[in-house]
Amino acid sequence: MLVIGSSNGYGLAARITAAFGCGAHSIGVSYERPGDESRTGTAGWYNERAFVGKAQDAGLAAYSINGDAFSNEIKERVCTLIREKLETVDLVVYSIASPRRLDPKTGELYSSVIKPIGKRYSSKTVDFQSGIVSDISIEPATEEEISHTVKVMGGEDWLLWIRTLLDAGVLERGVKTVAFSYLGPAVTYPIYRDGSIGKAKEDLEQTAPRINALLERIGGVSLISVNKALVTRASAVIPVVPLYLSLLYRVMKNKGIHEGCIHQMLRLFQDHLYSAKPGLPDEAGRIRLDDLEMRPDVQHDVTLLWNRIETENLGSLSDFEGFQREFLQHHGFAMPGINYEADVEP
């Protein structure tokens, strides 16, 4: 398999699931900073190193390329590596979350924004460091900001990857490729699904049929998986979402149906991608791994808590502690057994 965006969150979880659940050899692409003389590297850098070590210990081939996945150079390096080490891949996971993209054709730099569209949006949010619940207002995105966000987070680069891999002859017959999307509840619609990032996700989803047309001659298929809201480096910085996640975690844990990234990817592989009787897609043809999150009883309970939540009852009504811990761990902190005061060789 090839995972584009493999150092954290759903991309890393997909690679782990494929390797240790299916015995898959893999290549991962990520853009992380290694350690230097003055400081340690990013958490994702060490995630990549750790995965490769564990996979090789299990007798699996595993390779990582660090660089800008949007660039032609990295795409070409990946094609060369596949030919040399794996010959072909039969699964391509696209899991990119980036604030910026340098267009490889024009050299223009695009930046994504997380803003509503059409009018100012006001709602509650929580500061993930202090735990203070407050009101927030966000001005609407301009047309240029919307188009830039689509350019960064939409489907154009996914399509370029598949074209490049197909032209290089490194896709196995019957290849599957999957990209991740999110819908969410009504409370997050103005800032997410109906906002600038939602336009990018719509573009990503609309790219799937175009990729299907490309892959038709080798019997391949392109899929969209709508996943559950989870703490990732990308989701945690979206206004309103940290508070929603803290409440959602509380409700789903109380009901015994909470899932992390690994659980979600296990269901994706086991019940959809490689099942003899795959789960049915929704009316838009998407895999719905957010089915438990969007259960009416779950959303009902989250809404009741949302209407009552404030700084004083944050600890008793939500799982803010669990959210905060996960957020810190995504960045390499709050790991049990680690003395963060000790000196380290960067």
Evaluate the CA torsion angle 291, 297, 300, 304 in order and state its sign. Answer: negative
- Which residues are part of the catalytic machinery? 192
Burial class (CB in 10 A: 0-12, 13-18, 19+), 209: exposed
Residues facing residue 66 across a β-bridge? 30
Reduce the DSSP state of residue 58 to 3 states and report it: coil
- Per the CB < 8 A criterion, the answer to whether 38 and 346 are in contact is yes
Distances (CA, A) of 117 to 146, 191, 197, 243: 8, 8, 10, 21
**Cα separation of 107 and 308, whole Å?**
49
Give the number of C-alpha atoms closer than 13 A to the C-alpha of residue 137, restricted to the C-beta side: 3
